[in-house]
A and B are shown apart, each in its own frame.
Chain A
């Protein structure tokens, strides 16, 4: 079946511009996660959704970052007033949910964001 999909695959933007990154989870997966992978920092958790609710936003690095999920499916991660340190690969993962520790997270292909 179809895996997690993300768009765009690559995004180049200028410092100060806003960007939106999209994630389509695996059909039937109620839990959705955003992670960020940057050189030297490894993979970092950003936010977790269960259905349309985000009970854990603790990983969002600043208030320039926000995310939403609609219809228990598609999620959008928005970065406002982008900075060069935002350059990274943004990875989305989904799992059956409801986010139990034994639940397996499957990753999408990622969006590579470059802020000039």
Chain B
């Protein structure tokens, strides 16, 4: 059973701080990794995708991938109250196409 694990949270950080969200996955064949943001009552919205080991930066967001440790993380710099949401880690294995999701981490950014 392929699994994607995330801390459910809630993770609470003050405005302006760095929020660090973590995800581990069980399938070593996983090739593609995604972070989605989901506001309450809304559908998931893609934040970042990463396919190679290392860091990928996009504005205030940085995704980090370590395939040897089967670990992917998302850093949010200068956190804003509008970043408060559930962050979903999702993985695609090999040449597959199905997204396997973690259960998400609830992030709260306090003004």
Interface residues on A, range: 20 to 34
Given A45-B100, A101-B32, A109 and B42 touching (CB < 8 A)?
Answer: yes
Given A101-B32, A101-B92, A109-B43, A42 and B49 touching (CB < 8 A)?
Answer: no
Chain A: minimal CB distance from B74 (Å): 16
Per CB-CB distance, the 9 closest pairs between chain A and chain B, nearest first, are A99-B97, A43-B101, A42-B103, A107-B43, A45-B98, A101-B32, A101-B92, A101-B31, A110-B43
Check B98 against A107 for contact (C-beta < 8 Å). Answer: no
Chain B: minimal CB distance from A89 (Å): 8
Interface set of B (CB-CB < 8 Å, partner A): 31-32, 34, 36, 42-46, 49, 51, 88, 90, 92-104
* Any B CB within 8 A of the CB of A7: no
* Any B CB within 8 A of the CB of A77: no
* Any B CB within 8 A of the CB of A16: no
What are 30 A-B pairs with beta-carbon distances under 8 A?
A33-B98, A33-B99, A42-B101, A42-B103, A43-B44, A43-B90, A43-B101, A44-B101, A45-B98, A48-B97, A56-B98, A91-B44, A99-B97, A100-B95, A101-B31, A101-B32, A101-B92, A101-B94, A101-B97, A102-B51, A103-B97, A104-B34, A104-B46, A104-B49, A107-B43, A107-B44, A107-B45, A108-B43, A109-B42, A110-B43
